[in-house]
Chain A
C-alpha cells in the first residue's frame, strides 16, 4: 500500500505517490470503467495487477514482452467492460481476458518470427529454483512453443499454475469433460516432444514406465 510505505517525516511524498484503491468493490469498478472514471481504472489495476502479472508471467515464461502483454490485457478490459453482464464475475472474466490475450500473443508470434526483434522465451537456458536446483525453464517453454497454442496454455494452467480442471474449464470456456480431455492431450503432446530432449526426457522417464 503506497501510503503505508511512507515514513512520518516524508509524508510530502504522498503528493507524488498515488493512493491504493484496492478496496473498491467490483461492481463499483465496473460501473466506474463504463463511465470512464479514471479512479476506477486505477482501482482496477491496483486490485488485479498481481493476478494478471502472475498469469501472463507464467504463461509466457518471464517473457521480454511481458509488460506489453499485461498492458494489452488491461486495455482490453477497458474496451470490453461494457459487455460484462455480471459485475460480480469480474475476477473470472479478467482471467479469461488475460488468457485470451496471451493466446493471441502466442499465435501472433508464430507470424512474427521474421522480425527476430523479440526473444520468445525466458532469458536464460537454465533457471534455478529457490533451493538451488537447476530447472530447464527455457527447454520447457521451447517445447510449449512447438505445441498448439491451446495445449500450451492448458499445460501451464494445469501444471505450473496448478489450476483444477474446474478452474481451467471456467477460465478457458470449456466444459469439465473438455477440460479433462484438453489436459490429457497437452500432456501427451508434451511427452512426445520431451522424449527428444536430453534433460527433459530424464524428468519424465517415470511417466514412460507407467505407460
Chain B
C-alpha cells in the first residue's frame, strides 16, 4: 500500500513547501487587530454572541458593497491627541512638553507617539494619506497598514514612507541627523543624499544619516554598545563616509518607486478592490497566467516589484522565478536573483533560502551593481538565522572588499560577536 501513496506524499510535500506555512507576520498582525477590534466592539452590545455575528455580517457586507460600487471617497481620518484624547485637526502643531510620551491616535488603530520635547505637525490626515512633519525629536510609530492609506513621516529633507509598521524616527534639525529603526514591517526612506530611490528598511534594520557630514550607516553597532559609549544615540560610534551612490544600469534601484494602488478596499479581510491601474498588477489570476507565459520582461518586472511592494511574496517570487527562466540571459534575470533573496528574507521568512539567492547573485554577477549589498545582506541573513560561522565568513569577506561600505559596521559587529 505504501507505494500507492508515495507519489501523493511527494506531491503533497512539494505543495506544502511551495505554499509555505501561512501569511506574513504583518498580515497576522492585521488579523489580530481586526479580531480584537471586533471583540471590543461586541463587548459594548448587550448580546456578545449576536453582536459578533452582526458585526461580522455588516463588515463583510460593507466590504462587498465597497467592491461592487468601487467606493473611492477620500474621507477625513479622525485623530486624537494626548491621554485626554482631544480631537486633532489637519495643520495642527503638536509638542510633547512633559517627560511622558504624547500619543496621537488615529482612527483604525494607528498611533504616533512623540517623545519628550519632540514637535510635529499633522499636515494631512485622510483615508488616502497621512503626512506628518517631524520638526524635531523622536516619534515612535505603530502603523496599522491597510494598503489604502499612505503614511509618510517627513523629517527635514528626508521622508519615511510607511505601509504597516512599527518603527521609530528621530530628527535633529540642528545637526541634520536622522535615525530610523524598524521593529516590524518595512519602511522606505528617501531624500537628501540617499539613493535616488531611497533606502528600504526591514525588520531589525537601523538607518543613521548625518546630513552635515554626508555619513550614512545601515545597521551600525547595537544600542547596548552605543548607549554605554555615549548618551546621545546619534553621536555614538563613528559613522561611515559613504559617497552618494551613483549606480549605472542599476536594475533594482533605477526603477520608479512603486506606489501602492490607490483605494484598495477591505484589505484587512483580504479582499481587494479591482486595481485602478490599467496594466496587469497580478490580482487578476487569468491575466497573470497569461503574462507569465507571454509577457515581456519589463512588464513582468513591474508586476514583481508591485507585488513585492504590496508584500505579496508569493506572486513576487513566482514572477521573479519566471523571469529567470524565460529571460535567462537578461540583466533582469541577474537582478531577480538578488530580489528573490530580499523576498525570501523579508516576506517569506526563509533566511537560508534568502542566503542561497544572495549567493547565486554573487556567483552570477560578482561585479554587479548589487554585489556589495548582496554580500552585506548575506552575512546579515546568516547572522539572523543563527549561523555564526557562515555569518563570520561572509562578514570577513565583506570587510576585505568594502572596508568602508554600507554594511561595514554590521560586519565588524558580527565578527566581534
Contacts and interface: CB of A to CB of B under 8 A. Distances in A.
Contact of A137 (B10, B18, B67, B233): B18
Interface in B258-279: 268-272
Contacts of B20: 57, 62
Interface string A186-203: 010010000000000001
A49 interface: yes
A7 B181 contact: yes
A166 B153 CA distance: 54
Given A16-B103, A17-B142, A38-B39, A129 B67 contact: no
Contact of A68 (B10, B39, B269, B350): B269
A176 interface: no
Interface stretch (A72-80, A86-94, A95-103, A145-153): A72-80
Contacts of A67: 23, 27, 30-31, 34, 268-270
A187 B8 contact: yes
A96 B136 CA distance: 53
B223 A8 contact: yes
A8 to B, nearest CB: 5
Contacts of A211: 4
Contacts of A70: 31
Contacts of A71: 31, 34-35, 38, 56, 269
A36 B46 CA distance: 11
A207 B111 CA distance: 57
A160 B16 contact: yes
Greatest chain B CB density within 10 A among A53, A64, A160 is at: A160
A167 to B, nearest CB: 14
Interface stretch (B312-320, B327-335, B366-374): B312-320
Contacts of B285: 119, 121, 123-124
A140 B14 CA distance: 11
Interface residues of B, number: 81
Contacts of A15: 101, 103, 113, 140
Contacts of B183: 5-7, 10, 13
B233 A162 contact: no
Interface in B9-50: 9-23, 27-28, 30-32, 34-36, 38-40, 43, 48-49
A158 B9 CA distance: 8
A117 B4 CA distance: 39
B168 A10 contact: yes
B264 to A, nearest CB: 12
B36 A42 contact: yes
Range, interface on chain A: 35 or more
Contacts of A135: 14-15, 17-18
A112 to B, nearest CB: 10
Contacts of A66: 23, 270
B294 interface: no
B53 interface: yes
A127 B268 contact: no
A190 B350 contact: no
Contact of B32 (A8, A49, A140, A190): A49
A161 B23 CA distance: 16
A25 interface: no
Contacts of A6: 183
Contacts of B34: 67, 71
Contacts of B315: 123-124
Contacts of B9: 159, 162
B321 interface: yes
B71 interface: no
B21 A49 contact: no
9 contacts: A9-B223, A16-B111, A38-B43, A46-B32, A54-B21, A117-B67, A124-B289, A128-B321, A129-B14
Interface of B: 3-23, 27-28, 30-32, 34-36, 38-40, 43, 48-49, 52-53, 56, 60, 64, 67-68, 101, 103, 111, 113, 115, 140, 142, 166, 168, 181, 183-184, 203, 223-224, 227, 233, 268-272, 282-285, 288-289, 292, 312, 314-315, 317-319, 321-322, 350, 353
